[in-house]
Amino acid sequence: MNAQLQFRNLTLGYDRHPAVHHLSGEIKSGALIAVVGPNGAGKSTLFKGVVGALKPLSGEISRAGIDPHEIAYLPQAAEIDRTFPINVYDMVAMGLWRQAGIFGGIGKDAKKKIGGAIGAVGLTGFESRAIGTLSGGQLQRMLFARLLLQDARIVVLDEPFTAIDAKSTLDLLDIVRRWHGEQRTVLAALHDIDLVKANFPETLLLAREKVAWGATAEVLTPENLTRARHMCEAFDEEAAACAA
């Protein structure tokens, strides 16, 4: 199986201050991988690099010929402007913008795809609801529907299950498994260690640099998790606790 993503001595950061240091490794095409680490470990920074929103300070990212704009990306919920005046249908429809263009019309086939994606995440009947009225779980369902329409080979999910209800988590995990079954490459930043162990065969444990990377059972050992916390605290002396 070929590498879908390769990191070669990759360093990412902001204003010349590194947040991910000298990361090397590769993610195989069709992999289902969790990225785990304490708060401030660089998970979101790594994902911003993968999707092209952040340029490397040094080293490089190879995407096997895929343009960064073709990657389906779910940012953290805190980055979504819920006051923006848009309804569920139109927000989901934005998943087709690369095919239809920014000013392209929505034809019969596109409408069928949009309706199918909304139905797949359990939001049929919510099409006209303003996104600001949605619960946390409903918001994530809507954003997953938008990702479904993007039909991307690489899917990047930044804390997709944080602060949502258990049923939404289970339903959205089913979509993640579907993507994996379709041989898409899926990366997800997660905090719930038990959820990772039960659903993700491969894990990268990050604490601004690689702590461990490989089979989940071998990576998420008490020793490695403790080491990651200590590394996090060393980077931020003010941190009272760095929970994985």
CA-to-CA distance for 165 and 111, rounded, in angstroms?
A: 29
CA-to-CA distance for 60 and 206, rounded, in angstroms?
A: 18
What pLDDT score does 7 carry? 98
Lowest mean pLDDT among 43-52, 69-78, 197-206: 69-78
Please state the domain extents for the chain: 1-70+154-159+185-244, 72-151
What pLDDT score does 105 carry? 64
Q: Which residues of 229-241 are buried (b: 16+ CB within 10 A; e: fewer)?
A: bebbbebeeeeee
Sort 243 into a burial class: Cβ within 10 Å, 0-12 / 13-18 / 19+.
Answer: exposed
What pLDDT score does 16 carry? 79
List the structure tokens of 208: 């601004």
% of the chain residues with pLDDT over 90: 80
pLDDT at 237 over 70: no
What pLDDT score does 15 carry? 84
Q: What is the mean pLDDT of residues 59-70?
A: 95
pLDDT at 142 over 50: yes
What is 1-70+154-159+185-244's CATH number? 3.40.50.300
Confidence band for 1, pLDDT divided at 50, 70 and 90: low
Task: Return the closest-CA partner of residue 198 out of 161, 230, 165, 232.
Answer: 161
What pLDDT score does 190 carry? 97
- Compute the mean pLDDT over every residue in the chain, rounded to the nearest whole number: 91
Confidence band for 238, pLDDT divided at 50, 70 and 90: very low
What pLDDT score does 242 carry? 41
What pLDDT score does 52 carry? 96
Strand partners, 204: 35, 213
Which tens digits make up the pLDDT trace of 157-204?
Answer: 999 999 899 999 999 999 999 999 999 999 999 999 999 999 999 999
